[in-house]
Structure 1
Amino acid sequence: MNRTIAAISTPAGTGGIAVIRISGEDAVKIADKVFFGSEKLSECDTHTVHYGFIKNEKGEKIDEVLVTVMRAPRTFTREDVVEISTHGGSAAPRAVLDTLIHAGAYMAEAGEFTKRAFLNGRLDLTQAEAVIDIINAENELAERNALSQLGGALSKEISKVRAELVHLAAQLQVTIDYPDEDLEDITADDVKTTAEHCCNIVDRLLSTADSGKIIRDGIKTAIVGKPNVGKSSLLNSLAREERAIVTDIAGTTRDVIEEYINLNGIPLVLIDTAGIRETDDTVEKIGVERSRNSIQAADLVVVMIDGSSFFDDEDIDVLNATRHKKRIVLINKTDLGQSKYVEAVKARAADSRVIEVSAKTGIGLDELADEIKSIYDLGFLSQTDGAVITNMRHKTALINARDALVRVSEAIGMNMPTDIASIDINYAIDALGEITGETVSDSIVEDIFHQFCVGK
């Protein structure tokens, strides 16, 4: 980490400004070589902004800039940091970066700034991962949860449980190592009580994982029904663009179409499927098979029924095929009049909510959004600032910790020696440490930071 690194931190493309970040012990020295303003940056106070020009080794002006000087340790990386704000586009920031590299900076690797923040103790591993989650967030819930994680919501929960287990392990180890000393005994009941208490906290965190998956990835929602009931019209209406072809010809949609949308704050991955029916058309048969596969893979199924037409065996077949899934049934085309078959559909839909809608005019779509919120308890998620598990790495480590704590309780319940239980207590400590980065392997750290973009 002795190298001073530099990279463009703003996205490529046209924009008002771009930012080049420099970090390392020579950050100010290197910036001073290329910046020409009213005073030397090395003589400036920390956290100050300065106007001037960047010049190359030939003394040619590269760009008019603002330079921010931030001295360690009050910086993102806890190293000296200089940020240069240039004009946007690609030519100016690229030329400034090339000038800095020529002056002695090294090109930063993917995620290297955040990696330095982690290695220098500015962030733990969950907070570092939250940085990339904020960058990748596609909805308000995802951004809010990532910001909460960046603020330490998950770290505090994990550290509290881990500290309790470390204290327990230390007490056990002293008892094992010095059995003849006059020390306060820790009983088997004490071990079991602590293990179960910690296990309950871990279970509570794990209980948020399904909701966390929704926050991060969206609810995978398959729109299904027989041909020409308005599935593609619903997709277009929710996406607010002509994403799928809509005609009066049954069987127009032959393949699966996916679209990520935000429905009243709800992240949805909508899947428009081919109409499900018996057919001799080879291509349509493939589409129908893919529709059935989409039902199995979906988190939520929206079954559409044409309220202006007959409620027939094909509709019933779709309802039967989706009866074991989380499901909402929509009676479409209410703009053409009240359906005669509402009660018949409700009888066949069992416990599923039936909503009358018009994909054409938008009638009933707010009610659809409210029902999805109710099914997934998204109202609660939008109000909580607590830790929510959105990362599969965290979930796996928590499962490993929980399983170890369950084994501790079982061992005590079978009157096994407490030193046997201490093995699983230490295993749980290590598993929790993997989440915050205290016991994680170098290869996992490298893999995490390689998911970042260069400049972050």
Structure 2
Amino acid sequence: MTNQYVDDTIAAISTPPGEGGISIVRLSGGDALAIADKLYHMGRKSLKNQDSHTIHYGYIMDGDERVDEVMVSIMKAPRTYTVEDVVEINTHGGMVATQRVLELCLKAGARLAEPGEFTKRAFLNGRIDLSQAEAVMDVIQAKTDRAMKVAMKQLQGNLAEQIRILRQQILATLAQVEVNIDYPEYDDIEEMTTALIEKEARNVQAKINDMLQGAREGKILRDGLKAAIVGRPNVGKSSLLNTLLKEEKAIVTNIEGTTRDVIEEFINIKGVPLHLIDTAGIRDTEDIVEKIGVERSREVIEEADLILLVIDQSSPLTAEDIALLEQTEKMERLVLLNKQDLAPQLDLDTLMSYVEPAEVIELSLMKKSGVDRLEEKIAALFFSGKTALHGAQLVSNIRHIALLEKANQALDDVLLGIEQGMPVDLVQIDFTSAWELLGNITGETVQDELLDQLFSRFCLGK
């Protein structure tokens, strides 16, 4: 794949909008230094003549007007993020100064960068592969230390190296197959070739299956786990949300129906990024607003990865409790028996006819007891411990998972073809398909349309 931006210089603001200590305007391309030189002033110093990877104090000028006092970093190709000349202008934080400097860069000859275009250039120029490029956004968006470590391993090329090894295995086998077909030396060459393909297909498939086993954990680390707090009114759902968040996010009262809509927050529980959703108490009601909230709660239950079903153990089971126990029976759930500080009135025998003992956790949100056990249980439910922290590379990207599954299916087709006695040249087609699908992960066989789609999801200036 060739670089389509050879003579093009791009610019963008690479720091978040708003007030801060500094903002950064980044330039990349063949004219980056020349454009910066047009704007930068400090005596007769020319940035083009300075050493690479140095930083310089001065002013950005618009004619005779000093626009801002800046520090300018210059990094000359090829030892840069994009493998092109890169200039980063460190301005005072704030939208006015930053935007003014960007406008001057564009006026001097740069083009406004598209979302993710700096990283796209790093890929097109061969500095990183596509899986590493996607890991850049995973690093930026990581919600826990654990997720950050997984993303960093991918950014360092761990996943790409595993994929390259698998593709090389397939390619070496395909090459040997071609030799056997073109230059047969033995009468049983067809049988020998088929046996070779079968052996290598099984080897590659075993390694892909190992990668897919950790994909569920990887996806949770990347995207978070959607956990819905459900229950009838006044059982302690909002108190649970506040306790896990360690702040008073939801209003808590003794009045039923206080929570009328879903409340969503992200928290980190034992390394699990939890997308926590507090729902309206589920009950029959004539209140129009509350009824809408109840319907939304029912929708959330269906979409959740984990149900935290809160039940008040200081009162008997109600029809609403039983309905929720039945609705969530086949879902991943924890049943939280709250208000352990009060005298029990719950019929445990009836409750246990609806739940497994391992699902039940006793809580007193008033006294904050049982919360540690709940957090440990959530982590244990979704993490086997065989994570990237223990040496394995977790596959966390949905696109990568889908491609691995397709490659796995192509290998299934290879083995089925061999079992059915299909000719080697037909079996070879499916084996080649697996090689191409794996190449899509690292970008070695990817199409330009997919690249545009992937990088459009990046933030501007990265």
- Shorter chain as normaliser: what TM range? over 0.9
- Is the Cα–Cα contact under 8 Å of residues 261 and 296 in structure 2 kept in the other structure? yes
| 1:360 alignment partner, one of 363, 366, 376 | 366
Structure 1 residue 376: deviation in Å? 0.7
Alignment map for 1:303-322 (pairs within 5 Å): 303-322=309-328
Q: Does 1:154 align with 2:156?
A: no
Cα deviation digits, residues 84-136 of structure 1 (max 9, x gap): 11111112222222222222222212111111100000010011111112122
Distance 2:344 2:379 in 1: 26
Cα deviation digits, residues 207-252 of structure 1 (max 9, x gap): 2221122112211111122221011221122223333332212233
* Equivalence for 1:134: 139
Going from structure 1 to structure 2, the CA distance change for 1:378 and 1:31 (only over 3 Å counts) comes to farther
- Is the Cα–Cα contact under 8 Å of residues 373 and 379 in structure 1 kept in the other structure? no
Structure 1 runs, 4 residues or longer, greater than 6 Å off:
180-185
Going from structure 1 to structure 2, the CA distance change for 1:274 and 1:102 (only over 3 Å counts) comes to closer
- Is the Cα–Cα contact under 8 Å of residues 260 and 280 in structure 2 kept in the other structure? yes
Query: SS at 1:134's partner residue?
Result: helix
Structure 1 residue 406: deviation in Å? 0.9
Larger deviation, residues 301-310 vs 73-82: 301-310
* Equivalence for 1:144: 149
Cα deviation digits, residues 271-304 of structure 1 (max 9, x gap): 2223233455565555444433332221111111
Amino acid at match of 1:363: S
Q: Does 1:113 align with 2:110?
A: no
* Equivalence for 1:19: 24
Structure 1 residue 434: deviation in Å? 0.8
- Is the Cα–Cα contact under 8 Å of residues 180 and 193 in structure 2 kept in the other structure? no
* Equivalence for 1:218: 224
Aligned positions, number:
454
| 2:453 alignment partner, one of 417, 440, 447 | 447
Amino acid at match of 1:370: E
* Equivalence for 2:261: 255
| 2:402 alignment partner, one of 396, 402, 413 | 396
| 1:7 alignment partner, one of 7, 12, 16 | 12
Distance 2:238 2:449 in 1: 45
- Is the Cα–Cα contact under 8 Å of residues 53 and 61 in structure 1 kept in the other structure? yes
- Is the Cα–Cα contact under 8 Å of residues 221 and 298 in structure 1 kept in the other structure? yes
Structure 1 residue 430: deviation in Å? 0.9
| 2:106 alignment partner, one of 84, 101, 125 | 101
Amino acid at match of 2:122: A
Structure 1 residue 18: deviation in Å? 0.9
Q: For structure 1, which runs of at least 5 residues remain unmatched after alignment?
A: none
Amino acid at match of 1:394: H
- Is the Cα–Cα contact under 8 Å of residues 148 and 386 in structure 1 kept in the other structure? no
Q: Does 1:416 align with 2:422?
A: yes
Distance 1:311 1:346 in 2: 12
Alignment map for 1:277-288 (pairs within 5 Å): 277-279=283-285, 284-288=290-294
Going from structure 1 to structure 2, the CA distance change for 1:233 and 1:15 (only over 3 Å counts) comes to same
Structure 1 residue 153: deviation in Å? 1.5
Distance 1:143 1:247 in 2: 38
Structure 1 residue 163: deviation in Å? 1.0
Query: SS at 2:208's partner residue?
Result: helix
| 1:298 alignment partner, one of 289, 293, 304 | 304
Structure 1 residue 165: deviation in Å? 0.7
TM-score normalised according to structure 2 size: 0.92
Distance 2:289 2:246 in 1: 28
Structure 1 residue 372: deviation in Å? 0.6
- Is the Cα–Cα contact under 8 Å of residues 153 and 386 in structure 1 kept in the other structure? no
- Is the Cα–Cα contact under 8 Å of residues 266 and 369 in structure 1 kept in the other structure? no
TM-score normalised according to structure 1 size: 0.93
Query: SS at 2:387's partner residue?
Result: helix
- Is the Cα–Cα contact under 8 Å of residues 114 and 460 in structure 2 kept in the other structure? yes
Going from structure 1 to structure 2, the CA distance change for 1:106 and 1:283 (only over 3 Å counts) comes to closer
| 1:174 alignment partner, one of 179, 200, 221 | 179
Cα deviation digits, residues 314-342 of structure 1 (max 9, x gap): 433322222211111111123x3353548
* Equivalence for 1:83: 88
| 2:433 alignment partner, one of 423, 427, 432 | 427
- Is the Cα–Cα contact under 8 Å of residues 316 and 347 in structure 2 kept in the other structure? no
- Is the Cα–Cα contact under 8 Å of residues 317 and 347 in structure 2 kept in the other structure? no
| 2:203 alignment partner, one of 191, 197, 212 | 197
- Is the Cα–Cα contact under 8 Å of residues 271 and 379 in structure 2 kept in the other structure? no
Q: Does 1:69 align with 2:74?
A: yes
Going from structure 1 to structure 2, the CA distance change for 1:419 and 1:230 (only over 3 Å counts) comes to same
Going from structure 1 to structure 2, the CA distance change for 1:63 and 1:16 (only over 3 Å counts) comes to same
* Equivalence for 1:274: 280
Cα deviation digits, residues 308-366 of structure 1 (max 9, x gap): 222344433322222211111111123x3353548444564224332221223422111
Going from structure 1 to structure 2, the CA distance change for 1:131 and 1:182 (only over 3 Å counts) comes to farther
Amino acid at match of 1:298: A
Distance 2:90 2:387 in 1: 37
Going from structure 1 to structure 2, the CA distance change for 1:177 and 1:59 (only over 3 Å counts) comes to farther
Distance 1:439 1:257 in 2: 43
Taking only aligned residues, the RMSD between alpha carbons, in angstroms, comes to: 2.3
